[in-house]
Amino acid sequence: MKYALALAITLASPLGASDFSAPLLDWPVDCVLNHSCHLQQYVDHDPGPGAKDFRCDALSYDGHKGTDIALPSLAAMMAGVSVRAAADGIVAGLRNDMADLRYENGTDLQGRDCGNGVVLQHSDGWETQYCHLKQGSVQVTVGQSIAAGTALGEIGLSGKTQFPHLHLSVRHNGAVVDPFAATFNTCDAAQQSLWSTSLPYEPGGLISVGFSQAVPSYDAIRAGTTRADLTTTSPAMVVWGYLYGAQKNDVVQLQIHGPKGEVIAHSDILDKDQAQLFRAAGKRLRAPNWPQGIYHGTARLIRDGVLVDSKTIELTLN
């Protein structure tokens, strides 16, 4: 168990041409990328104290050794999202008994940072590791031979994590490999990928957007429990955006457009990099009622004057 589920400490290293006995990896989560999940962080390619992903962008952190596939909320996690074997392999180790709890800084996990997880051994010294699975969800046994696509468990919140996601590690003879850039070239979009299908790269974006009649708590947004419970007499109308991969000097725009035109437009310039954050803006009711009709709430992430992502939600008041 200790061998099988300890996070690898070997630094990522380049692969030679002879190393491409690598298995092609299938998408390992029952979600639609950039719709019901997103890529939160990639393997760190910076050998120094900084961090950069395979595109030399900021979607990583110092020493990160895997690919993080994140869900939009705890509600999505509780509904159940399966994690599947990315390639044929043999189960070399697993853990299934850690509670799903948001990690608090300073907590001693006694070497169990991966939380609940599974390690699969593949041919020619390759292995994949699947971390932060939901307690009690692991469905395989040590020594079991499984095919690509076999359900291993479900995304959870176990181990060293503050949001529900799968941390997928790929290793070759113990060294970390980035499945998006197996040869560890620098800032090259056309690198050797281990994925069986092409996966789009997004440098950040919107996780979700919503309406409410007051600024919601960050905990409620992360939990997925906010409700657009507005009526024509609600004391205020608020639009919020939940974002990932934001960078210093990015602009978050929030807008509400109603049946009689623009209700509110707000821009916020970010003062630091943030892995996840939310922003909200709204307007108090000044008349007896909000006009009946259709309202659109939009959140946008803009970087260096270029739109990175936007999401719009619709609300009808009768």
Whether 61 and 41 have beta carbons less than 8 Å apart is answered as: yes
Q: Residue 164 has which token pair?
A: 């529900």
Which of 243, 235, 242 is CA-nearest to residue 214? 235
Q: Bridge-partner residues for 12, per DSSP? A: none
Question: What's the burial of 72, exposed, middle or buried (CB within 10 Å: 0-12/13-18/19+)?
Answer: buried
Domains of the chain are 38-102+114-177 (2.70.70.10), 205-317 (2.60.40.10)
The Cα 250–Cα 244 span in angstroms is: 12
Q: Per-residue pLDDT tens, the chain, 318 aa: give them.
A: 333 344 333 334 444 434 558 899 999 999 999 999 999 999 999 988 999 999 999 999 999 999 999 999 999 999 999 999 999 999 999 999 999 999 988 788 999 999 999 999 999 999 999 999 999 999 999 999 999 999 999 999 999 999 999 999 999 999 999 999 977 656 765 678 999 999 999 999 999 999 999 999 999 999 999 999 999 999 999 999 999 999 999 999 999 999 999 999 999 999 999 999 999 999 999 999 999 999 999 999 999 999 999 999 999 999
Which phi-psi region, left, alpha or beta, contains residue 293 (left: φ > 0; alpha: ψ -120 to 50)? left
Q: What's the pTM value of the predicted model, to 2 decimals?
A: 0.91
Q: List strand residue ranges (DSSP E) for the chain, in order.
A: 38-41, 67-70, 82-84, 89-95, 116-121, 126-133, 145-146, 151-154, 165-172, 175-177, 205-212, 236-246, 251-258, 261-269, 274-284, 293-303, 306-317
Whether 243 and 268 have beta carbons less than 8 Å apart is answered as: no
